């Protein structure tokens, strides 16, 4: 849509006219890589914030290598090797993250998105120092739990922030950068463990630095992100509007879009945000006149999430997608790949470790195309293709496993074929549900309940992650090939669910999501919206409109009484 048309709409009629999604979308420019390169500041900010994703991946990945290091096993016999507490030292982090994701909602609303991430970094740093310096089990466990809280907060706060600063045409790609960073974190921690295990030798003489170093190194990206929260990342303009700092929001938005404050696109976007925020606030005020304190308001908002049909529908989608992301079995592979590769006949420690290293590399590489496609092809089609190939992979691995279970040694090629399908699975996970499960929760909720809803959704990710970590070893030893049929079933469910029920959100501005999910119908709501629109229309009349010399027609210049 031309700038002219947007200007006319701003000046003439209602917010609804201004925010016709398709038009505004095309006004923003290209999506994918081209769009990101054009909006270099969005690219820079998203990459910077994605340091949080890097911490997430690094923390998930680092523990498996540490647990089998000689010096670590010697110092923590109940935790390392085959110790009885091994499962718990891994999963206590996920429990911490579950709590962290939930508590970050009020923090992200009260302190701001960016400062909630700063608080998270502090928790993460405390946890990292305790783990790196651990002298006994309790120090290790407490360190992992506190670090986990920080991680859960980060995994909720970072995509929330990115989703709120990105324009609609780049939202998917920008949030995908955090998945890319997660994958990099997993890969780097794996190879780092692989390298540091040689400090002092892998046997008796192994130095404690072999495992303390990978724990300690996390401090570097965490400190960088912490500093960046104060000096690099701007406030989310949506949060600023939510807390009534509308003028600042406009300034930030114009910086983010690299356009003057009075540019029609910036004006149209700020109006959409204001309309959405005012609508949410007014709804709560009118529906719950007795809710006065922030805690009372937050309580009503949580309640609305479960009782309003259109909100509970969105909540279900966000949570179910997180659940299914975990039940594709990705972490069964990431946590237990060496064990799996051994069980399908790839003999020798180094072979199975190398096969695991390949998992990490594929996971990173396959995330890259997602950055280019999620905003172009749309979320649905990418999810369906990914789900279909993931199920195919599980099915083939399970079947090969069932046939060759007792004769892998005589059928080496079957073992390698199964390994190849494990890699193929990871490839398909990485560009599809790996990324898209993070995109939906950031974009489908109204501003008023976004932080609460995201906290719940991301906590579902962590609790499901915890369950997978717990049940996979049991399933592998009891059901063997059945484990892969189990995951096959969930990837098929993902496919069918997306095909039949999931709406496409590509390019839809956050403030227009109601169109996809229903809700906010009825006379009362329409009246409320009309009042807000009237208010905003009056405000917009006082905005001098930016003019690119020669780009507007004469009659438009007159109509706008352009002051420039």
Contacting positions for ligand BGC (CB under 6 A): 60, 179, 182-183, 186, 325, 330-331, 334, 363, 434, 461, 465
Minimum CB separation of residue 120 from ligand BGC in Å reads 16
B/e letters for 200-228, b = 16+ CB within 10 Å, e = fewer, are beeeeebeeebbbbbbebbbebbeebbeb
Tell me whether residue 212 or residue 379 sits nearer to ligand BGC (CB atom): 379
| Spatial distance between the Cα atoms of 356 and 410, rounded to a whole number of angstroms | 22
Q: Are 57 and 434 a contacting pair, CB within 8 Å? A: no
C-alpha distances out from residue 439 to 30, 328, 393, Å: 18, 17, 24
Q: Are 211 and 62 a contacting pair, CB within 8 Å? A: no
Minimum CB separation of residue 90 from ligand BGC in Å reads 12
Minimum CB separation of residue 373 from ligand BGC in Å reads 17
Q: Are 390 and 491 a contacting pair, CB within 8 Å? A: yes
Minimum CB separation of residue 334 from ligand BGC in Å reads 5
Tell me whether residue 272 or residue 432 sits nearer to ligand BGC (CB atom): 432
Tell me whether residue 60 or residue 393 sits nearer to ligand BGC (CB atom): 60
Tell me whether residue 334 or residue 510 sits nearer to ligand BGC (CB atom): 334
Tell me whether residue 234 or residue 357 sits nearer to ligand BGC (CB atom): 357
Q: Are 441 and 159 a contacting pair, CB within 8 Å? A: yes
Tell me whether residue 236 or residue 331 sits nearer to ligand BGC (CB atom): 331
Minimum CB separation of residue 138 from ligand BGC in Å reads 27
Minimum CB separation of residue 62 from ligand BGC in Å reads 12
Task: Please state, as a whole number, how many other Cβ atoms lie within 10 Å of the Cβ of residue 248.
Answer: 15
| Spatial distance between the Cα atoms of 45 and 237, rounded to a whole number of angstroms | 14
Comparing CA positions, the residue from 190, 189, 207 lying closest to residue 198 is 207
Minimum CB separation of residue 205 from ligand BGC in Å reads 33
Secondary structure (3-state) at 469 = helix
Tell me whether residue 256 or residue 468 sits nearer to ligand BGC (CB atom): 468
| Spatial distance between the Cα atoms of 500 and 503, rounded to a whole number of angstroms | 9
Lookup: tokens for 412: 């080496």
Minimum CB separation of residue 463 from ligand BGC in Å reads 12
| Spatial distance between the Cα atoms of 313 and 297, rounded to a whole number of angstroms | 21
Tell me whether residue 179 or residue 301 sits nearer to ligand BGC (CB atom): 179
Dihedral of the CA atoms 223, 70, 57, 83 (nearest 10)? -120
- Residue written as token pair 């805690």: 295
Q: Are 359 and 333 a contacting pair, CB within 8 Å? A: yes
Tell me whether residue 179 or residue 452 sits nearer to ligand BGC (CB atom): 179
Minimum CB separation of residue 498 from ligand BGC in Å reads 16
Lookup: tokens for 198: 């040689």
DSSP character string of 152-177: HHHHHHHHHHHHHHS-TTTHHHHHHH
Q: Are 174 and 480 a contacting pair, CB within 8 Å? A: no
The phi-psi region of residue 449 (left if phi > 0; otherwise alpha if psi is between -120 and 50; otherwise beta) is alpha
Tell me whether residue 197 or residue 322 sits nearer to ligand BGC (CB atom): 322
Minimum CB separation of residue 14 from ligand BGC in Å reads 39
């Amino acid at each position: 849509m031309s700038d002219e048309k947007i200007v006319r709409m701003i000046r003439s009629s209602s917010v609804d006219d201004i925010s016709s999604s398709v038009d505004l979308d095309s006004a923003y420019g290209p999506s994918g890589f081209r769009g990101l390169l054009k909006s270099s500041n969005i690219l820079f900010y998203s990459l910077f914030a994605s340091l949080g994703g890097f911490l997430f991946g690094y923390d998930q990945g680092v523990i498996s290598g540490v647990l089998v290091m000689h010096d670590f096993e010697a110092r923590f016999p109940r935790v390392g090797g085959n110790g009885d507490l091994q499962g718990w030292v891994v999963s206590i982090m996920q429990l911490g993250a579950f709590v962290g994701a939930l508590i970050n909602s009020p923090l992200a609303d009260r302190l701001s998105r960016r400062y909630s991430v700063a608080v998270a970094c502090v928790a993460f740093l405390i946890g990292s120092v305790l783990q790196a310096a651990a002298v006994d089990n309790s120090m290790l466990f407490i360190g992992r739990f506190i670090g986990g809280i920080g991680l859960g907060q980060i995994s909720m706060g970072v995509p929330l922030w990115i989703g709120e600063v990105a324009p609609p045409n780049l939202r998917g790609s920008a949030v995908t950068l955090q998945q890319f960073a997660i994958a990099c974190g997993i890969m780097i921690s794996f190879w780092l463990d692989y390298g540091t295990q040689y400090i002092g030798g892998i046997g008796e003489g192994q130095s404690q630095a072999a495992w303390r170093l990978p724990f300690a190194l996390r401090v570097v990206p965490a400190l960088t992100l912490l500093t960046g929260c104060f000096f690099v990342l701007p406030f989310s303009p949506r949060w600023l509007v939510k807390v009534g700092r509308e003028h600042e929001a406009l300034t930030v938005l114009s910086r983010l879009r690299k356009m003057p404050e009075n540019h029609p696109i910036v004006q149209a976007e700020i109006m959409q945000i204001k309309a959405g925020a005012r609508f949410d606030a007014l709804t709560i005020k009118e529906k719950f006149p007795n809710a006065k304190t922030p805690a009372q308001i937050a309580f009503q908002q949580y309640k609305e999430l479960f009782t309003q049909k259109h909100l509970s529908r969105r909540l279900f989608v966000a949570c179910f997608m997180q659940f299914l992301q975990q039940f594709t079995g990705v972490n069964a592979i990431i946590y237990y790949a060496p064990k799996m590769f051994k069980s399908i006949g790839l003999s020798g420690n180094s072979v199975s470790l190398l096969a695991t290293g390949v998992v990490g590399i594929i996971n990173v590489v396959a995330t890259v195309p997602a950055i280019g496609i999620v905003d172009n092809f749309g979320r649905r089609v990418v999810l369906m293709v990914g789900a279909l190939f993931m199920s195919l992979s599980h099915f083939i691995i399970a079947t090969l496993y069932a046939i060759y279970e007792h004769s892998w040694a005589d059928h080496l090629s079957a073992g390698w074929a199964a390994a190849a399908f494990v890699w193929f699975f990871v490839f398909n996970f990485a560009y599809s549900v790996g990324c898209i499960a993070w995109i939906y929760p950031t974009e489908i909720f109204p501003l008023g309940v976004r932080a609460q809803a995201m906290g719940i959704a991301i906590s579902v990710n962590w609790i499901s992650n915890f369950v997978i970590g717990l049940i996979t070893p049991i399933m592998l030893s009891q059901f063997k090939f059945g484990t892969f049929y189990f995951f096959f079933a969930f990837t098929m469910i993902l496919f069918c669910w997306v095909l039949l029920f999931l709406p496409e959100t590509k390019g839809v501005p956050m403030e227009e999501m109601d169109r996809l999910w229903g809700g906010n119908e009825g006379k009362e709501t329409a009246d409320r919206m009309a009042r807000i629109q009237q208010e905003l229309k009056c405000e917009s009349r006082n905005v001098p409109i930016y003019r690119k010399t020669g780009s507007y027609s004469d009659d438009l210049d007159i109509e706008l009484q352009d002051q420039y």
